[in-house]
């Protein structure tokens, strides 16, 4: 069909009913042109959000609000192009000259029709109404609710908002999660989207879901296990997630693209993005400037992400005239292109001087300049004085300059013209005298300045170290302090990794006494040494048989490590969800003892500490078992401290899908949030399966609704774990334990018992409340995690550095 356009309106071929009737918005498929000078005759077959135009009452007139999918993204067609739905079932797009541009490849596959679904999915179907081809299987830069992104698939951002062809920012699903990268000669990762890396499951896909006013992004394993999820509240049914041209991953609301939520905001700041300040730009606290010797390419100020160019461009004609200007504490977003055989700083500088195309060399190291990473970026993207690398590495940038020009920073214009040389010997001698006098004076000034520098700043540094030592002396009751070298030896250079998560990796080690220990090496700390030590003191002062014990710590230079007792039998989930071959299921007495241990540990945290500690992430993965199957609570990375005179607190969303209390959606927490999570754990331990298990058939994925229905029908015996004969013999006791779980799972948190009350029930001194509510308000598919959205800035998020115990 020929293409036509009504100015800014585009021709719609297929549309569904208005998904958002209030605003006259729905999904549509048609031809789109930006109709600007640069793309005057550039048309795309597109799916997008379209808005109904009431100004044309007698015609179906829509216009695209946003483009969500493109068929011919890298090859626009002219206005004389045709789209044909052929009799063999193939959908074909040809340009005006008849050349094939795109097709669905569905010839001779029994396709009889196509339709635009209300989900935004374009579907070609057969006589049985079975989908043969769908646009959801071929994503571009957007993910819609109900759409999946499988392992190996990726979203690719557009070049810009005015150029819809493929840009350099990519988001790909890997076996370990989501990897956002910038496509250069070597893909340069700038963000790996997190989930619990301690799990043994590989990522299979991500899914978008929408329900009850929330939009979620779920990361799922091959077995259907939900590994991680993020959420955002939305107002309308046509919200979506898009990888934008600036590399940001955002949730959008269909009413206004100005209302968006940055999905990576908790893990990255603006300066972490590869093009935050353009090429050769320096990002500092979100403000852009140019590197020394560079200036903005246009006349605008340095506050925006303008391109920077070298004031005195270097050439390859006379490389001996080049030198490197060192710039300390300059970080780069990726070292994936590091030169493998260049590991020391001097070799890195030499490599840049010998490479004609090198304009900037970057070198990062942990604590020794002879062991590090060297990268000679090409192209050179944005650099930063801050960001996620700042607290892990020390870093230098070496900027190649020419001796022919003066160093100027940020584009300051200074004349670098030379005076013509004089040929007379008098002039030469006079020049030598002046140079000699000047050099002598400079050396003298340098010596004097150096003396005072050493005296003043040397004392200041010594004073700072003495201050830290004095501070340590004041902190009585601190755990054992280890040196980094001691822990390196204890773990045999961090050789045996037990797991990862909770903002660091855990390694097995041996203490001087020969006892096994678990050493957690923390990453990306954003706090000072005193704050870290104060938090270590807080958790180090907590002692209970049902809490994993913090033995010691290391706070040396940039190193932050925690030393815990070793829990030989690992986490509880491996015993109730993923049993090893020939591993017998836990018997009733062991399960009861584990539940009792956890209850006592939580009661201690809530009621017996100077400040109440709310754990906020109680789940089987955070319950560790020792050699006697004694359970201990671990991983305090999300915990919140509340003063005794506070009854509740407002906080950011935090927790794990399937274990979070409903009231956390309103961002108000009490210790009853832990009680709810404990109820879920009890249910899982007794039933022998996960609360949220996507490997189960449809309708059975969520255990809690089934559990409550059986309770209301007085058929809880049907829920007892059938894999254990011993559990079958203790069904009546197991049912009584299930009633404890139901009490803990009341949707109204004021009706839940305290953990000390739970302990009394388990001891047999108190009865479970009789009048229980079985209509649980459970956010089954929308459990939020670690992502802050539309919340008041009245919270204090406890830094995750300290309290994370080994997984």
Binding residues: 520
- Partnered with residue 399 across adjacent β-strands are 325, 360
Which residues, 6 or more positions from 616, have their beta carbon under 8 angstroms from its beta carbon?
638, 639, 640, 654, 655, 669, 673, 674, 677
Residue 685, helix vs strand vs coil: helix
Bond from prior residue into 795 cis (ω within 30 degrees of 0):
no
CB burial class (10 A; 0-12, 13-18, 19+) of residue 766?
A: middle
In the numeric block, the tokens 């260049």 are attached to 342
CA-closest candidate to residue 774, choices 700, 710, 679, 678: 710
CA-closest candidate to residue 248, choices 234, 227, 269: 269
In the numeric block, the tokens 């020391």 are attached to 344
Which residues are documented as binding site for ATP? 520
Contact 267, 191 (CB under 8 A): yes
Q: How far does Cα 245 stand from its chain's mean position?
A: 18
CA–CA distance, 660 with 670 (Å, rounded to integer): 12
Which residues, 6 or more positions from 703, have their beta carbon under 8 angstroms from its beta carbon?
683, 684, 687, 689, 690, 691, 692, 693
Q: Tell how strand 177-182 and strand 188-193 pair up.
A: antiparallel
Question: What angle (nearest 5°) sits at the alpha carbon of residue 195, between those of residues 529 and 223?
Answer: 155
| Secondary element (H or E) of residue 728 | helix 725-729
To the query of whether residue 617 is one of the catalytic residues in this protein, the response is yes
CB burial class (10 A; 0-12, 13-18, 19+) of residue 483?
A: exposed
Active-site choice (617, 635, 674, 693): 617
CA–CA distance, 333 with 326 (Å, rounded to integer): 18
Eight-state DSSP code of residue 292:
B
Contact 271, 384 (CB under 8 A): yes
Contact 198, 240 (CB under 8 A): no
- Report the catalytic residues: 617
């Amino acid at each position: 069909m020929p293409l036509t356009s009504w100015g800014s309106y585009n021709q719609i071929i297929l549309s569904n009913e208005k998904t958002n009737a209030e605003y006259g918005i729905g999904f549509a498929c048609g031809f789109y042109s930006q109709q600007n000078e640069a793309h005057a005759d550039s048309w795309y077959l597109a799916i997008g959000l379209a808005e109904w135009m009431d100004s044309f009452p007698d015609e179906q007139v829509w216009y695209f609000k946003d483009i969500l999918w493109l068929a011919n993204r890298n090859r626009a067609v002219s206005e004389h192009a045709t789209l044909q739905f052929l009799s063999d079932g193939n959908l074909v797009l040809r340009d005006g000259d008849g050349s094939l541009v795109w097709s669905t490849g569905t010839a001779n596959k029994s396709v009889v029709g196509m339709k635009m679904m209300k989900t935004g999915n374009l579907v070609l179907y057969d006589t049985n109404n079975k989908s043969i081809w769908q646009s959801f299987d071929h994503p571009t830069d957007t993910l819609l609710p109900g759409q999946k992104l499988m392992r190996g698939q990726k979203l690719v951002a557009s070049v810009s908002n005015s150029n819809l062809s493929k840009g350099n920012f990519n988001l790909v699903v890997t076996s370990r999660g989501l990897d956002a990268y910038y496509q250069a000669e070597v893909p340069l990762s700038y963000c790996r989207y997190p989930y619990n890396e301690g799990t043994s499951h590989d990522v299979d896909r991500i899914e978008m879901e929408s329900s009850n006013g929330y939009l979620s992004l779920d990361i799922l394993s091959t077995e259907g296990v939900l590994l991680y999820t993020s959420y955002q509240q939305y107002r309308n049914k046509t919200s979506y997630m898009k990888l934008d041209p600036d590399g940001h991953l955002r949730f959008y609301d269909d009413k206004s693209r100005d209302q968006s939520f940055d999905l990576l905001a908790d893990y990255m700041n603006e300066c972490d993005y590869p093009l935050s300040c353009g090429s050769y730009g320096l990002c500092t606290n979100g403000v852009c400037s140019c590197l020394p010797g560079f200036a903005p390419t246009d006349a605008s100020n340095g506050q925006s992400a303008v391109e920077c160019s070298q004031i005195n461009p270097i050439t390859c004609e006379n490389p001996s005239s080049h030198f490197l200007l060192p710039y300390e504490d300059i970080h780069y977003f990726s070292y994936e292109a590091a030169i493998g055989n260049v590991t020391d700083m001097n070799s890195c500088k030499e490599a840049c001087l010998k490479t004609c195309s090198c304009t900037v060399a970057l070198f990062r190291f942990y604590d020794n300049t002879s062991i590090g990473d060297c990268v000679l970026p090409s192209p050179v993207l944005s650099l930063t004085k801050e960001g996620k690398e700042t607290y892990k590495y020390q870093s230098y940038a070496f900027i190649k300059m020419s001796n022919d020009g003066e160093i100027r920073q940020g584009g300051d214009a200074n004349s670098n013209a030379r005076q013509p040389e004089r040929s007379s010997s008098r002039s030469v001698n006079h020049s030598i005298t002046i140079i000699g006098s000047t050099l002598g004076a400079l050396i003298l000034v340098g010596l004097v300045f150096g003396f005072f520098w050493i005296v003043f700043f040397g004392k200041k540094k010594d004073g700072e170290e003495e201050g830290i030592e004095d501070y340590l002396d004041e902190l009585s009751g601190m755990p054992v302090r280890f040196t980094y070298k001691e822990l390196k030896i204890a773990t045999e250079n961090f050789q045996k990794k037990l797991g990862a998560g909770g903002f660091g990796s855990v390694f097995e080690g041996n203490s001087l006494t020969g006892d096994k220990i678990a050493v957690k090496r923390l990453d990306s700390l954003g706090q000072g040494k005193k704050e870290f030590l104060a938090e270590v003191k807080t958790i180090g002062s907590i002692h209970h048989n049902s809490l994993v014990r913090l033995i010691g710590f290391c706070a040396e230079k940039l190193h932050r490590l925690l030393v815990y007792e070793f829990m030989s039998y690992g986490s509880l989930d491996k015993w109730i969800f993923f049993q090893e071959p020939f591993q017998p299921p836990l018997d009733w007495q062991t399960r009861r003892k584990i539940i009792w241990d956890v209850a006592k540990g939580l009661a201690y945290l809530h009621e017996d500490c100077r400040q109440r500690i709310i754990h906020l992430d109680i789940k089987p993965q955070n319950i560790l078992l020792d050699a006697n199957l004694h359970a201990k609570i671990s991983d305090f990375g999300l915990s919140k401290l509340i003063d005794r005179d506070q009854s509740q607190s407002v906080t950011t969303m935090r927790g794990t899908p399937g274990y979070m209390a409903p009231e956390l959606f309103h961002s108000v927490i009490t210790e009853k949030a832990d009680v709810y999570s404990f109820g879920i754990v009890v249910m899982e331990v007794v039933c022998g399966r996960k609360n949220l298990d996507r490997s189960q058939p449809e309708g059975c994925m969520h255990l809690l609704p089934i559990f409550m229905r059986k309770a209301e029908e007085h058929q809880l015996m049907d829920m007892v774990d059938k894999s254990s004969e011993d559990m079958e013999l203790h069904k009546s006791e197991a049912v009584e334990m299930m009633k404890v779980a139901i009490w803990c799972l009341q949707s109204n948190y004021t009706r839940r018992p305290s953990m000390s009350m739970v302990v009394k029930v388990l001891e047999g001194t108190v009865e479970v409340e009789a009048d229980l509510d079985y209509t649980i308000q459970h956010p089954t598919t929308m459990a939020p995690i670690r992502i802050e959205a539309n919340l008041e800035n009245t919270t204090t998020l406890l830094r995750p550095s300290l309290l994370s115990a080994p997984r």
